[in-house]
Amino acid sequence: MNDVQPKATIVIFGATGDLAKRKLFPSIYKLYQKGKLAEQFAVVGVARRPHTDESFRHYVKETIEEATKQELIDEKFISHFYYHSLDATNTQSYEQLNELLTRVEEQFHIPGNRIFYLAMAPEFFGTITSHLKSEGLTATNGWTRLVIEKPFGHDLQSAQRLNEEIRQSFSEEQIFRIDHYLGKEMVQNIEVIRFANAIFEPLWNNRFIANIQITSSETLGVEDRGRYYDHSGALRDMVQNHMLQMVALLAMEPPIKLTTDDIRSEKVKVLRALRPMTHDDVETYFVRGQYGRGIVRGQQVVGYREEHSVDPNSNTETFVAGKLMIDNFRWAGVPFYIRTGKRMTEKSTKIVVQFKDVPMNLYYRTSEHVHPNLLVIHIQPDEGITLHLNAKKSGESMKTTPIKLDYCNNCIDGINTPEAYEKLLYDCMRGDATNFTHWDEVAASWSFVDPISEVWANTKAVDFPNYEAGSMGPKKADELLQKDGFHWWPLNGTM
Ligand code: BG6
């Protein structure tokens, strides 16, 4: 676990795909540049498409140069890359891959440690993992690990099926399920803010917190992922994983220790304590939206139903807002509001913790507004925390004015926060599974989300499209909070 320069071969299935290109190759390069990878590593790209090692290296070099906007001069780095063209159903093809891996391990003195990274569509997960085992690719002298990307199933049942398939070849300890939000610096900071500060933890409960709001808004539409997205929608794409993971980190009890198992078990308890949605509740607690045409950052954009590979009558949601209740001792009565969507006003992920008002505010009469205390955790694009307090307005006798205490992580010179994927890849190489999702978390999240998707699949949204591209979503999402006497805090500079 503490191996600072892990020695391993990373076998990337889907090596010619988008994820490898945009995230994985640049992350591996950064780890190498920072000295976190010694010379005892190799990357074997695997995909259907034919490539020689040479042409693959050329491709990798180009993708890294494009992503890092630097010229890649390090030929030594690129010589660690190899390629194998694989037919996923052909046994012989795996045998050849195994031969290549053994050769590469000898060459770079890698002690049989292998990461199999499946950066591809989940329908092949079962076939690939079973071949990896049957053809002996997992039987090495070192450790072997499997990294998988979402979507992990479409609902609980399909996720269970997928899990069973994978578990035929890999144990739970060997499986690293990626949720890239868990690799984000400020998501990892949630635990530190909560558990390393005496001033927050005593207040972190239903006696002092009025509500918690989590927004993850995007300006992009579905881009070229229409085919996937139209079958997924925002609920499965963002809520089942990223949003619920943030809820779990915000709501969990302090773990006994900072070990993977202790943290995960506290997170699972939160997910299990989520008040289940009955079909009748969905309408009251959840709002779905789909974007129509509009203007995003000054550009006219098309509506969702006009996007490439999207059904022109699609009923798929591109926006979700919801009110979650956690039925346990700490959180009884405190709503957690979540909101996420595509083609919204800005790209931003923020958590706002709104504290209850003081029991008797002496300044109500003299001040126009007494702002509630807020703790804002800025996840992206800015990273930091802001605490909103009230202070005396200077000069005028007894009036108050809101003030902000700000900490901006990425404003400090020299801090260049690593990409989530860089951190997660490194964690996986060191065997630290804390920031990956355990099967129990995946199952609990699907159990919560399934009734909502069932209702939405069975009732056509008559008002779609119901928000304009470039807006903050449908009006109903605002009403969700208004009913409780709250409102969404704005995401812009004022926060
Ligand atoms: C992915 C979703 O998991 O997260 C995408 O599939 C979404 O649809 C992305 O755009 C958002 O991630 P980030 O890091 O840009 O907030």
Q: Mind listing the pLDDT tens digit for each residue in 441-458? A: 999 999 999 999 999 999
For residue 427, is pLDDT > 50?
yes
* 167-225 pLDDT per residue, tens: 999 999 999 999 999 999 999 999 999 999 999 999 999 999 999 999 999 999 999 99
- Interval between CA 443 and ligand 1 midpoint (Å): 21
Q: Rounded to whole angstroms, how far apart are CA atoms 112 and 465? A: 53
Of all residues in the chain, the percent with pLDDT exceeding 90 is 86
Q: Which residue has the tokens 């490898």?
A: 20
Name the residue among 96, 112, 100 with its Cα closest to residue 145. Answer: 112
Which distant-in-sequence residues (6+ apart) come within 8 Å of 229 by Cβ?
222, 237, 310, 316, 318
**How many Cα atoms sit within 13 Å of 210 on the Cβ side?**
17
In angstroms, the Cα distances linking 166 to 127, 237, 312, 336 are 9, 21, 36, 34
- Interval between CA 242 and ligand 1 midpoint (Å): 9
For residue 1, is pLDDT > 50?
no
Name the residue among 312, 316, 292 with its Cα closest to residue 470. Answer: 292
pLDDT for 44? 98
pLDDT for 2? 47
Q: Rounded to whole angstroms, how far apart are CA atoms 216 and 194? A: 21
Q: What atom in ligand 1 is closest to the CA of residue 220? A: 10
Q: How many residues are present in the chain?
A: 495
Bridge partners for 12 per DSSP: 45, 117
pLDDT for 393? 85
Q: Residue 493 — pLDDT band, cuts 50, 70, 90?
A: low
- Domains of the chain in sequence order: 8-149 (3.40.50.720), 182-483 (3.30.360.10)
Is there an atom of ligand 1 within 6 Å of 218 CB?
Answer: yes
Closest Cα to atom 9 of ligand 1: 238
pLDDT for 190? 97
Active site residues: 242
Q: Rounded to whole angstroms, how far apart are CA atoms 267 and 251? A: 8
Q: Rounded to whole angstroms, how far apart are CA atoms 233 and 457? A: 11
Closest Cα to atom 14 of ligand 1: 181
- Interval between CA 113 and ligand 1 midpoint (Å): 30
**How many Cα atoms sit within 13 Å of 411 on the Cβ side?**
8
- Interval between CA 141 and ligand 1 midpoint (Å): 37
Q: Which residue has the tokens 């996937």?
A: 228
For residue 365, is pLDDT > 90?
no
For residue 434, is pLDDT > 60?
yes
* 22-59 pLDDT per residue, tens: 999 999 999 999 999 989 999 999 999 999 999 999 99
Q: Residue 369 — pLDDT band, cuts 50, 70, 90?
A: low
Q: Summarize the annotated binding site as residue ranges.
A: 14-21, 48, 150, 180, 184, 218, 237, 342, 347
- DSSP assignment of 288-306: EE-EEEEEETTEEE--GGG
Is there an atom of ligand 1 within 6 Å of 179 CB?
Answer: no
Is there an atom of ligand 1 within 6 Å of 237 CB?
Answer: yes
Least confident window among 224-228, 318-322, 410-414: 410-414
Average pLDDT over residues 476-481: 98
Q: The pTM is what? A: 0.95
pLDDT for 492? 73
Q: What atom in ligand 1 is closest to the CA of residue 216? A: 16
For residue 138, is pLDDT > 50?
yes
pLDDT for 399? 82
Q: Residue 301 — pLDDT band, cuts 50, 70, 90?
A: very high
Q: What is the CA 244 to chain-centroid distance, rounded?
A: 10
The chain-wide mean pLDDT, for the chain, equals 94
Average pLDDT over residues 342-370: 85
Q: Residue 118 — pLDDT band, cuts 50, 70, 90?
A: very high
Q: For the purposes of burial, counting CB atoms within 10 Å of the CB of 368, is it exposed (0-12), middle (13-18) or buried (19 or more)?
A: exposed
pLDDT for 250? 98
Q: Rounded to whole angstroms, how far apart are CA atoms 195 and 72? A: 41
